[in-house]
Structure 1
Amino acid sequence: MLSENRAGRFFRDMAVPSVEEFRSMQYDRRLACLAAIMVVHVADHIVSADAEIPPNRIMNVQQKLSCQFSKSCTAFSICRDISNSSKHGRGKKVRNHLQDYWDVKQDRPGFFEAAMGQGSFANQIKLIVDTPTGPQFVIDILDEALVMLKAELALRTCKMPRHDPEI
């Protein structure tokens, strides 16, 4: 069971529901960005929930932990880049415009003819992102990052030794 500290609550109440909301509408870029932002901010809450870190060091340690997670988990790194590019208009792995980062891939598309022309069932369209290993569905990246964060929260709840004593 996850800790009931601030980080555990943020994971349970914000990150997981944001990913689940996106799961129901995997074509929605706004929901994808919001889910990525929530996933990435779990790292900030992990640091903020640690009473041993002095307040004047929290931002530095938050950045350090986020970098550590990015190095150890490619999915978290991609979520971090989606988050940063959606907030700041650029990311390390993306071009200057968010729309260049996204592509729409049809997974078993449901095309139909209608009075106004051809359409498709939106729930059959899923966002993908180009990653260093090739295109991946955004939902799979979010899920992988959640698994890593859940494991990290469980380790911290059990008071397991950390790799870096400052984190």
Structure 2
Amino acid sequence: MASTHLDAFDRKILMLLQEDARLTNNDISERVNLSPSQCSRRRQRLEEEGYIKCYRAVLDRDMLGFSLVNVITVTLATHNRDNARRFAELLARLPQVQEAHALTGEMDYILKVVTQDLKSLSEFVNDVLLPHDSVQHVKTAIVLQTLKETGSLPL
């Protein structure tokens, strides 16, 4: 848990960095009306306290050949910690799984998976997910259009 209260300057810095992580401290200082050294100290504190987890580039999935986005729900064969752990270990090894969430209700997990085409989706489901001993049922849906996709938080 974070130990420091975030003030308006911290929130503005976080907002700016989540829009463009390449901003320099000089760029940020111009936008938040603090000196570059103050922005640097605040940024470092935000990183050290864990508010900023990492910096990364957002790649264009279509240009890189991963134009098929799939939503896959999974039901486990049995509901115990060992089975859930084995399934989580499987997901950790699969780079095409972009998101994985444990759910309440009818399905146990929902996955966001990118594939190059229908053939690779079929191989992923039939050769990777279904044969795994922790999995009982898999249901897939292909995303027709992405209306909104963001990792930004509403600061």
TM class by shorter-chain length? under 0.3
Q: More helix per residue: 1 or 2?
A: 1
Q: More strand per residue: 1 or 2?
A: 2
Q: What TM-score comes out, normalization by structure 2 length?
A: 0.26
Q: What TM-score comes out, normalization by structure 1 length?
A: 0.25
- Which structure has the larger Rg? 2
